[in-house]
Amino acid sequence: MEKPVLSPDRTTLPLRRDGHAGRHHFPSSFWNMPARLLFFYFFIAFTWILGSDILANKLIAYYGPGLGWLHTAKGIGFVLVTGLALFGLTRYLVNQAWRAHLHLHDSELAFRSAFTDNPTAMWVYDPGVGRMLEANQAACQHYGYSLHEFLALTPHRLSRGMAQRFQNGLQHHHHRQGALMIMELTVYAMRYQETQAQLVLARDMTDKIQAERALAQSEARFTELVSKVPEGFWVFDLEQGSYQYISPAFERMLEINLHQLKQDASLPLCRIHPEDLPEVEQALAEPPTTATELEYRWFTKAGELRWLQHRAYPVFERDALVRVVGVLSDITHEKQQQQRLFELANFDRLTGLANRINCHSYLASACAGEGPFYLLLLGLDRFKQINDNLGHDTGDELLRAVARRLEALRDGQGLLARLSGDEFALLIPHRDQGADIRDWAYQLSRDLALPFALSHHTLFITASLGIARFPEDGRDPDTLLRHGDHALAQAKRQGRNSVCFYQHPPQSPFPIGKVSLENALRLAWENKEFELHYQPKMSIDTGRLVGFEALLRWQLRGTGPVSPTVFIPILEDTGMIIPVGYWLIEQACTDLRQLAGLGVDKPVAVNIAARQLTQDDFAEQVLARLQQYRLPPQRLALELTESSLMQEPTRAAGILRRLRRAQMSIAIDDFGTGYSSLSYLKRFPVDTLKIDRSFIIEMEQDTDDRSIVDAIIRMAHGLSMTVVAEGVETPEQAALLRQLRCDQIQGYWYARPMPMAQLTSWLAKQRQ
């Protein structure tokens, strides 16, 4: 507002309500004029007096003293002339003065009204005596006082702590009722009624300042919020086609500033994951008319992958879309959590493979397709014993290693899952012929048989595989899994390390059920129907006979021979193996005596089942029988599988130690199919190691198998053990085993298992 131009020497404002002017200052010219008039008057008067006297005297001198009245007339004339002049002058001056007075009065009224009626609060204050001199209506109204009360106020009453005089600037004043007002004062110095006074103009700034403060506060709150909240905010102006605002978190997240964004709003797009980019571009093509949400992956400048969520909200003004505002959030953590939950729900924690649930849903979607495909269920043989004897850590480590190997063998096709403890599932797309998948499965089991070098153990393990085919063996996941399980159980029954297809209905390997088989076995035992066959063993170096293995044989009447892998487990389960086992040793002793009679003094190895080792006096019983048949203990050898040793390792070690002390030879049977930890086997007094047939079969073609055999032989020799290769069927296998420095071989190539009668003739033939 333009300040009124007032200066102390000109502010002779007639501010009194009675309209009387204050002290008058006359201009000096005003004083000059009467002086000039006086001089003029004196001049005229003196001139008149002197002039008229000279003229009158001359006339009287000429005309005589009769003209003496001339002096009187001259005097009267002078008075008349000057009187009239004075009258005219006075009249003129009074008129002038009256006009000036009227003019002054008008302007006084105008000024007074400008003061009293001014909407701006104003007052005049005398700082000398600390007294209010004048106040206008606006001031009285604003502060809530009557004029009388206002004039009695002191500056201190208006504002606590205020000095004796008013000053320019903002001040806190109080309304009569106590409310605080923020007043902006403009103070002018002025003379008023002979004193040096202050004219104060007061404008109420309370609302404005409060609004400003509220704005500043809300701005501060917004800034605080924006700086504290991890979400980024942005405002995009559609008219300008550029970002108007981005918050610090937005800048941090996208590693970009407003200036850069204003120059090129599409700049952030180049760091979006290529897979997510099309969706983002599509969303950005048109401004959103409703709230929208987008999630995409984002590469930071350092190359780290983050998940971002972008929420946009349109802003309309008078029905026109003017802006888009939005929130940007880094949802990487949530995504990771989600992923973790997904993994927990769908993946096996130990191996990281798909779990049963995941496998089931994968199967379900595979079943919805055309197929065909194979479901392979793979069970690790004797895994429980590894867990029991080497501890769960080793068991877990082995499972992880198996998972890794299977994953590599799967070679990216189908699905690999871990269903339970030692059971894995493989879903393999169709191969042209059934034979193919069988080959593939065999290859898989051979690959699995390669040693696993774990942190504390090197383990050999085998697996049994059951295969169910889609759609022949089932059209839904449950049926396929059930039939796969049947096939797996069948494979395990077949002596482990084998592959079985599911068969409709599952074909029992025996024509009679288990219970009747058990009965048949009891009958056979009572009727002494068991027989022993002997399979010779040969030294690779000399090509000569070095011993025999006694193998139990049983013919089921009307059916034919039953495999010992079928009936021996039943003998074990029923405990019949104990009497049968002693009978078998006695039979072997009898046959040994017969062989001795023929001049053959090679040892006979008998197979010992786990159950037999549960007998504390087993060693004594065996030794007693040898004594009974007058045979030195070296003539009898024992073959035990790792699993039978592991069932009760301490007791087994004790029994074996006693037998070994008596010089009896003890062999580990089927080495490579159990858990095959040589370091663990050192605990047992074992002197011979028999490599399982499964390694020998493929040894020629399969370099892996060959290297396993090589490794086993080296390790066994390192432990001073004799190595026997089982199931040698070809001269090539024998030659290879010789190269690998195997000690002995046993198998169809050298001789098949045969009954005693046949053996004697075989021996006779050998001697020729």
Contacts with Ca ion by CB under 5 A lie at: 607, 639, 669-670, 726
Nearest residue to 166 (alpha-carbon basis) of 141, 197, 137, 135? 197
Query: What is the closest distance, in whole angstroms, from the C-beta atom of residue 420 to ligand C2E in the complex?
Result: 27
What is the DSSP secondary-structure string of 612-628?
GGG-TTHHHHHHHHHHH
Is 737 a binder of ligand C2E (CB under 6 A)? no
Nearer to ligand C2E, 409 or 551 (CB): 551
Is 665 a binder of ligand C2E (CB under 6 A)? no
Query: Which tokens is 475 given?
Result: 């059209």
Is 747 a binder of ligand C2E (CB under 6 A)? yes
- The one of Ca ion, ligand C2E, none whose footprint includes residue 576, by CB under 5 to 8 A per kind, is none
Nearer to ligand C2E, 222 or 748 (CB): 748
Residue keyed to tokens 């090129």: 264
Nearer to ligand C2E, 19 or 509 (CB): 509
Nearer to Ca ion, 190 or 638 (CB): 638
Query: What is the closest distance, in whole angstroms, from the C-beta atom of residue 483 to ligand C2E in the complex?
Result: 27
- The one of ligand C2E, Ca ion, none whose footprint includes residue 227, by CB under 5 to 8 A per kind, is none
Is the distance from CB of 113 to CB of 16 less than 8 angstroms?
no
Is the distance from CB of 291 to CB of 306 less than 8 angstroms?
no
- The one of ligand C2E, Ca ion, none whose footprint includes residue 247, by CB under 5 to 8 A per kind, is none
Crossing angle of helices 392-410 and 434-448, in 10° steps, is: 140
d(CA 473, CA 503): 8
- The one of Ca ion, ligand C2E, none whose footprint includes residue 568, by CB under 5 to 8 A per kind, is ligand C2E
Is the distance from CB of 479 to CB of 473 less than 8 angstroms?
yes
Is 649 a binder of ligand C2E (CB under 6 A)? no
Nearest residue to 488 (alpha-carbon basis) of 475, 504, 477, 501? 501
Amino acid in position 93: L
**String marking each residue 562-581 x if it binds ligand C2E according to CB under 6 A:** -xxx--x-------------
Is 742 a binder of ligand C2E (CB under 6 A)? no
Is 748 a binder of ligand C2E (CB under 6 A)? yes
Is 609 a binder of ligand C2E (CB under 6 A)? yes
Query: Interacting stretch for ligand C2E, rule CB under 6 A, among 343-351, 377-385, 593-601, 605-613?
Result: 605-613
Total residues contacting ligand C2E by CB under 6 A comes to: 23
Residue closest to Ca ion, measured at CB: 639
Query: What is the closest distance, in whole angstroms, from the C-beta atom of residue 551 to ligand C2E in the complex?
Result: 4
**String marking each residue 544-563 x if it binds ligand C2E according to CB under 6 A:** -------xx----------x
Query: What is the closest distance, in whole angstroms, from the C-beta atom of residue 563 to ligand C2E in the complex?
Result: 5
Nearer to ligand C2E, 126 or 729 (CB): 729
Distance from chain centroid for Cα 741: 57
d(CA 686, CA 117): 125
Q: Which of 520, 562, 584, 723 binds ligand C2E (CB under 6 A)?
A: 584
d(CA 708, CA 453): 12
Cα–Cα distance list, 583 to 70, 533, 556, 591, 625 (Å): 204, 14, 19, 12, 10
**Sheet strands side by side (includes 423-429):** 415-420, 423-429, 373-380, 463-470, 499-501
Q: Determine which helix (DSSP H) or strand (DSSP E) holds 96, and give its type and residue range.
A: helix 69-116
Query: What is the closest distance, in whole angstroms, from the C-beta atom of residue 431 to ligand C2E in the complex?
Result: 26
Q: Which of 607, 694, 722, 744 binds ligand C2E (CB under 6 A)?
A: 607
**DSSP type of residue 2:** P
Residue 308's beta-bridge partner residues?
A: 296, 330
| DSSP reduced 3-state for 748 | coil
Residues that bind ligand C2E (CB under 6 A): 535, 551-552, 563-565, 568, 584, 607-609, 639, 669-670, 693, 726-729, 746-748, 753
